[in-house]
Amino acid sequence: MKICTSARINDALIEIEDLEQPDPENRYAVVWRDKDEENRYSARSIEDAEEYYQYRCRLAEQRRI
């Protein structure tokens, strides 16, 4: 696993992980953590992962996660 992008916004840590697996269904994961929970989103492409990463960053900026 390799971290492609990472941001800490307010109390949330949001990352794009390259799982380096040959299965394209689960190649990338967007992970967001705060003090109470951790969630994951699987993406087929880096473009999909980046789009969802930006969405999670906006939510964190608005303190909605």
What's the number of CA atoms in the CB half-sphere (13 Å) around residue 51?
A: 7
Handedness of CA 40, 54, 7, 47 (dihedral sign): positive
Low-confidence ranges of the chain (pLDDT < 50): none
Q: What is the pLDDT of residue 65?
A: 54
Residue 19 pairs with which residues in a beta bridge? none
Q: What is the pLDDT of residue 60?
A: 92
Residue ranges of the domains in the chain? 2-61
